[in-house]
A and B are shown apart, each in its own frame.
Chain A
Amino acid sequence: MMHARLLAVLVRIYGTALLICPRPLRDRYGGEMRAAFADRCDDAAPAGIGALLRAFARELADLVVASIAARRAAPAATPPVPSPRRSVVRSIWQDVAYAARMLRRQPGFTFVAVLTLALGIGANTAVFTVVNGVLLRPLPYDDPDRLVLLLYGRPGRITQWLSPLNYRDLVGQSAAFQDAAAFTPVTGNLTGAGDPERIDGASVSWNFFSVLGVAMREGRGFIEAEGAGDGDVVVIGDGLWRRRFGGQAGLIGTTIRLDGRPRTLVGIAPAGVALPAKAEFWRPLIFTPRDLAPRSRGAQWISAVARIAGGGDVARATAAVQTVAARLAVEHEAINGGTTALAMPLHQRMVQNVRQTLLVLLGAVGLVLLIACVNVANLLLARAQSRTREVAVRAALGAGRGRLVAQFLSEAILLGLLGGAAGLAAAYWCTRALVALAPASIPRLGEVAIDLRVLAFTFAVACGTSVLFGLMPALSASGGALARVIGAAGRGAVGAGASRPRRALVVCEMALAVMLLVGAGLLIRSYARLQQVSPGFDPEGIITFNLSLPEAKYSSSSSIAGFTATLLARLHREPGVETAAAVFGLPFGDLSASTSFRNPSKPDTPDGPLAGMRIVSPEYFKTMRIPLVAGRLLDERDDDSAPEVVLINQQTARRYFAGENPLGQQIRVGVTLAREARSNNKTIVGIVGDVKYGRLDADTPPEIYLPYAQHAVDEFTIAVRTTGDPMAFAPALRRDVAAIDRELPIARIEPMTAVVGASIAERRFTMLLLSAFAAVAALLAAIGVYGVLAYLVSQRTQEIGVRLAIGAAPGDVARLFLREGARLTVIGLVAGFAGAAAAARALSALLFGVTATDPATFGAVAGALVLVALAAAYFPARRASRVDPMTALRTD
């Protein structure tokens, strides 16, 4: 799809480029040439976008060469008196040819200018493309603005989880919605052809796809009877279809095996349908009588997506569900007391967490574009000044103002085009790199494709800069005062005023670079601080993997517990394995649950304690090296027949047992995850150290630990502490699992350090990207300082010669220019700090452990920039000190 759009753009560009052909050729063959060019591109496209762009470049070059050759051959056929129109075309052609020669004669200038433009265009297009794909582009559903998620809970604890009863009442009793569907994430073991694979999916109401308004790629969504349990059916996503079934047609109606159970494939969803995130299959959600029993009102495990009825909006939908929630809070005081609900646009909810990051990156890359433009402007001004004499001479020889303008215009446009072409390639590679490097937590990255409108916009900005500043010399020189310019040039000095705009530009560049450096510095310090945070356990040497036991094969608690015990025993016997444990709710892992609990001896309150729930086998604490604070750990005696026990962490003890000894007290837990678990009062037998769970930068929540033997869950993580490189044990672990159950897939086998690392991957990504931008900015600023000073030195050679001749020491001369460099730097720093202090507020949400005005960061940036600027000033200053007075005085 992207190829087709790109192709259309390329053909259009080629069509425009045909203007350089001699007119007769264009009139007679233009249409055909466009068609032939399109054919060429069609042939190149299947080999990839690289081949396509190469073909495009080759065709453009060929067109230029052929046009030149045709014009050379043409004069014989030209009528003796050229028509005015023809002479205009020819003079434009002359200008372009002259401009090309000028650019080729100064390869250094051309290279730096084109590179700067390409960097600015490429980086901007790439970042904006990602922002557009993730934040701005509508979801691939019908009228997606009317889709909302229902959020529910007590103020401060509002989540997207509802109980089936609350879902039914919230949706059924408010008239705001046209339709609504429930869904809940599940995972499935896909077996059959190929290796067993664990895939993410969801159980969804039968009308799920019609609420979203998704047109199936093939087949259909679910029908009402299937929502009532009629037939085992499944819909799969486009990604799974391509990856696992090779995108083969005619699969509808065939059977696939999920969790050991055959299911009939009724539909294939189009690409981009990802609700919940990462879901690759959907099966009907069927509520059991138990789910709908009044006592299950507190069991929150489904999410709800709803379509707002025509004429309504999000505010009205929120008001409607709030009204219902208030009523439910009164009617079911014991469970729902104090709760409220709201409707949040689906898209907003999806990108909530990455919005800030992406906007910061967008701002940063905008600064890079600005700096790139300033730099190009600076280069063009420098060149313009060195060509003042050429302009004056040409004007004196009779070149009209129009001709001069046209000539500089064609140079500027040619430069812009070159920069744009290089920018197109840069944009393509930058986008690819960005998508490849981005952390998995950024949603919708699969949908990202280069945005041509953005490319066009940045291209126009870059070309505009180039044209604006490229024209300056022509406009000022043709404004009259030729004699002054020629006279001044004759004396070898252009007057102090000429360099003022360039100094101003350098100061701007410095200030912008300072802003980026401060931003990058703050993120680097945040990241370093975060890495020093102890997670409360020791991730080194641990390897983890996830298992999900299919219900068809493991239907009882005893069979689940039996499997896990056998596996742990086998793993334990592997040489090099210290300990092995099963855990539901691994820190930074993707399984988690939380529960309310209460002290049975105290009165029940609606705002009762809430804690994260972890289910662990006895060796868990030894494996993770989580310390025991008081009481005892779990051990082998806490089995299914023993009295029910529970451990709590220090945070739970602090928050809910302040001033008491929690040991020996009893609690009652609101949720059971295992199918046949007992849910009587449990005795607190120990307190363990706090562990960070979801994020390093958040406080540790209250947690409770239940023994696995008493709560055999069928989905869990195995953590194995090894004595060597943990990943070296992966084959042995796979063998052990396969020895017990050959059909059981292993998911996410990775070292614990990677599990923790993934939680800060997004920060790392932002930090690296911003650092790269800042480095580019500092480099461009240094080029700017160097350019201005080098120019000043060359302009003042004569003056330097005089100074040296009348006794100034070379050191004094060098100091003169170093001082000038320092002056520019200091002004830039001050302006930049002011800008950074203002902009850093936008960053504050991304910072950890540093303030937005961290003095150490500002100081380091100042130091770094001064060093870079002085290095850039050093070379021109040295050249100034080595001027030979006699030579300098002799130059005209």
Chain B
Amino acid sequence: MQQMDDPRSFLPLTPQQFHILLSLTGAHLHGYAIIRDVEQRTSGALRLGTGTLYTALARLEALALVDESTRRAPAAEDDDRRRYYRITPLGRAVLTAETERLESLLRHARAKGIAAAGRPALSRGRS
């Protein structure tokens, strides 16, 4: 449905969406694997609940930023109920655009002499 037109029309992303796209960059993961990946990357600061993950995932899938992967895990670890997800080219473009947006925000803030204190804003999520 979505034309691969302007990735910037999808911005801004929520922190959860951002992290999910980040997790799927370079890996095809199932739901709980995404939760764990995000948790590890943020050292436990962002712990996605199952409900939060799937509502975000549903949104991303509806926007065609991710889609279902045909790749399966090795048979031994596989589970019928699990689906694997991957990032689409559009999703990758949106992720890049969001990163640029955030960087420019940071540049503006630093230009005013505001330095990061405490935890990075992105990882401050509801647990």
Chain A residue numbers with a CB within 8 Å of B127 are 58
User: Does B83 reach chain A (CB closer than 8 Å)?
Assistant: yes
B58 touches A36 (CB 8 A): no
A residues 39-70 near B (Cβ < 8 Å) are 39-40, 58-59, 61-67, 69-70
User: Does A453 reach chain B (CB closer than 8 Å)?
Assistant: no
A32 touches B49 (CB 8 A): no
Q: Which of A21-29, A132-140, A708-716 contacts B (4 or more CB under 8 A)?
A: A21-29
Measured CA separation A36–B59 after assembly (Å): 18
Measured CA separation A36–B29 after assembly (Å): 12
Chain B residue numbers with a CB within 8 Å of A281 are none
B31 touches A35 (CB 8 A): yes
**B50's contact among A28, A36, A70, A73, by CB below 8 Å, is which?**
A36
**A31's contact among B35, B53, B81, by CB below 8 Å, is which?**
B81
A37 touches B59 (CB 8 A): no
| Given A31-B81, A32-B81, A35-B82: A59 and B58 interface contact (C-beta under 8 Å) | no
Measured CA separation A436–B127 after assembly (Å): 35
User: Does A34 reach chain B (CB closer than 8 Å)?
Assistant: yes
Q: How near does chain B come to A16, taking the closest CB pair, in angstroms?
A: 14
- B56, closest chain A residue (CB): A66
A69 touches B55 (CB 8 A): yes
B residues 1-52 near A (Cβ < 8 Å) are 30-32, 35, 49-52
- With most chain A CB atoms within 10 A of its CB, the pick from B35, B50, B57 is B50
B54 touches A40 (CB 8 A): no
- B16, closest chain A residue (CB): A66
Chain B residue numbers with a CB within 8 Å of A61 are 49
B30 touches A21 (CB 8 A): no
B55 touches A36 (CB 8 A): no
B32 touches A35 (CB 8 A): yes
- B34, closest chain A residue (CB): A36
Interface size of A by CB at 8 A reads 27
User: Does A448 reach chain B (CB closer than 8 Å)?
Assistant: no
Measured CA separation A581–B127 after assembly (Å): 66
B55 touches A70 (CB 8 A): yes
Chain A residue numbers with a CB within 8 Å of B52 are 62, 65-66
Measured CA separation A32–B62 after assembly (Å): 17
B49 touches A34 (CB 8 A): no
B51 touches A59 (CB 8 A): yes
Chain A residue numbers with a CB within 8 Å of B62 are 77
B51 touches A67 (CB 8 A): yes
User: Does A33 reach chain B (CB closer than 8 Å)?
Assistant: yes
B49 touches A62 (CB 8 A): yes
B54 touches A25 (CB 8 A): yes
Beta-carbon contacts of B80-93 to A below 8 Å, as 1s and 0s?
01110000000000
Chain A residue numbers with a CB within 8 Å of B32 are 35-36, 39-40
Chain B residue numbers with a CB within 8 Å of A67 are 51, 55
Measured CA separation A61–B52 after assembly (Å): 10
Q: How near does chain B come to A682, taking the closest CB pair, in angstroms?
A: 78
Chain B residue numbers with a CB within 8 Å of A35 are 31-32, 79, 81-82
Chain A residue numbers with a CB within 8 Å of B54 are 25, 29, 32-33, 36, 66
Q: How near does chain A come to B88, taking the closest CB pair, in angstroms?
A: 17
B82 touches A32 (CB 8 A): yes
A40 touches B35 (CB 8 A): yes
Measured CA separation A63–B54 after assembly (Å): 10
Measured CA separation A135–B17 after assembly (Å): 55
Chain A residue numbers with a CB within 8 Å of B81 are 31-32, 34-35
B31 touches A33 (CB 8 A): yes
Measured CA separation A33–B82 after assembly (Å): 9
A66 touches B51 (CB 8 A): yes
A59 touches B49 (CB 8 A): yes
Measured CA separation A579–B79 after assembly (Å): 73
A32 touches B31 (CB 8 A): yes
- With most chain A CB atoms within 10 A of its CB, the pick from B51, B62, B127 is B51
Q: Count A-B contacts at CB 8 Å.
A: 69
**B53's contact among A28, A36, A64, by CB below 8 Å, is which?**
A36
Q: How near does chain A come to B8, taking the closest CB pair, in angstroms?
A: 20
- B59, closest chain A residue (CB): A73
B50 touches A63 (CB 8 A): yes
**B49's contact among A25, A29, A31, A58, by CB below 8 Å, is which?**
A58
Measured CA separation A35–B78 after assembly (Å): 12
| Given A32-B82, A40-B50: A66 and B55 interface contact (C-beta under 8 Å) | yes
Measured CA separation A382–B35 after assembly (Å): 46
| Given A59-B51, A65-B51: A29 and B35 interface contact (C-beta under 8 Å) | no
Q: How near does chain A come to B105, taking the closest CB pair, in angstroms?
A: 24
**B51's contact among A21, A28, A77, by CB below 8 Å, is which?**
A21
- With most chain A CB atoms within 10 A of its CB, the pick from B30, B55, B81, B83 is B55
Chain A residue numbers with a CB within 8 Å of B31 are 29, 32-33, 35-36
- A69, closest chain B residue (CB): B55
Chain B residue numbers with a CB within 8 Å of A25 are 54-55, 58
Measured CA separation A570–B50 after assembly (Å): 70
Measured CA separation A542–B49 after assembly (Å): 60
Measured CA separation A36–B126 after assembly (Å): 19
Measured CA separation A66–B35 after assembly (Å): 15
Chain B residue numbers with a CB within 8 Å of A69 are 55
Measured CA separation A114–B126 after assembly (Å): 27
- With most chain A CB atoms within 10 A of its CB, the pick from B49, B58, B83 is B49
**A62's contact among B50, B58, B82, by CB below 8 Å, is which?**
B50
Chain A residue numbers with a CB within 8 Å of B79 are 35
- B58, closest chain A residue (CB): A25
- B126, closest chain A residue (CB): A65
A residues 82-117 near B (Cβ < 8 Å) are none
Chain B residue numbers with a CB within 8 Å of A34 are 81
| Given A35-B79, A73-B59: A62 and B51 interface contact (C-beta under 8 Å) | yes
Chain B residue numbers with a CB within 8 Å of A73 are 59
Chain A residue numbers with a CB within 8 Å of B53 are 36
Q: How near does chain A come to B114, taking the closest CB pair, in angstroms?
A: 30
Q: How near does chain B come to A162, taking the closest CB pair, in angstroms?
A: 58
Q: How near does chain A come to B66, taking the closest CB pair, in angstroms?
A: 13
Chain A residue numbers with a CB within 8 Å of B51 are 21, 33, 59, 62-67
B50 touches A33 (CB 8 A): yes
Measured CA separation A28–B51 after assembly (Å): 13
Q: How near does chain B come to A96, taking the closest CB pair, in angstroms?
A: 15
A63 touches B49 (CB 8 A): yes
A29 touches B57 (CB 8 A): yes
B83 touches A32 (CB 8 A): yes
Measured CA separation A84–B81 after assembly (Å): 30
Chain B residue numbers with a CB within 8 Å of A64 are 51
Measured CA separation A29–B52 after assembly (Å): 12
Chain A residue numbers with a CB within 8 Å of B55 are 25, 66-67, 69-70
- A31, closest chain B residue (CB): B81
Measured CA separation A32–B58 after assembly (Å): 12
Q: How near does chain A come to B16, taking the closest CB pair, in angstroms?
A: 10
Measured CA separation A35–B73 after assembly (Å): 15
Measured CA separation A63–B52 after assembly (Å): 7
Measured CA separation A301–B83 after assembly (Å): 68
Measured CA separation A21–B49 after assembly (Å): 14
Q: How near does chain A come to B76, taking the closest CB pair, in angstroms?
A: 16
Chain A residue numbers with a CB within 8 Å of B50 are 33, 36-37, 40, 59, 62-63
A residues 688-724 near B (Cβ < 8 Å) are none
Chain B residue numbers with a CB within 8 Å of A37 are 50
In the complex, 28 of the A-B residue pairs with CB atoms within 8 angstroms, ordered by the A residue number, are A24-B58, A25-B54, A25-B58, A31-B81, A32-B31, A32-B81, A32-B82, A32-B83, A33-B51, A35-B31, A36-B30, A36-B35, A36-B50, A36-B53, A36-B54, A40-B50, A59-B50, A59-B51, A62-B49, A62-B52, A63-B50, A64-B51, A65-B49, A65-B52, A65-B126, A67-B55, A70-B55, A70-B58
With A65-B49, A67-B51 known, 5 other A-B pairs at CB within 8 A are A32-B54, A33-B51, A34-B81, A40-B32, A62-B52
Chain A residues engaging chain B, CB cutoff 8 angstroms: 21, 24-25, 28-29, 31-37, 39-40, 58-59, 61-67, 69-70, 73, 77
User: Which 9 A-B pairs rank lowest in CB-CB distance, beginning with the nearest?
Assistant: A62-B49, A66-B51, A63-B51, A39-B32, A36-B32, A31-B81, A35-B81, A36-B31, A29-B54
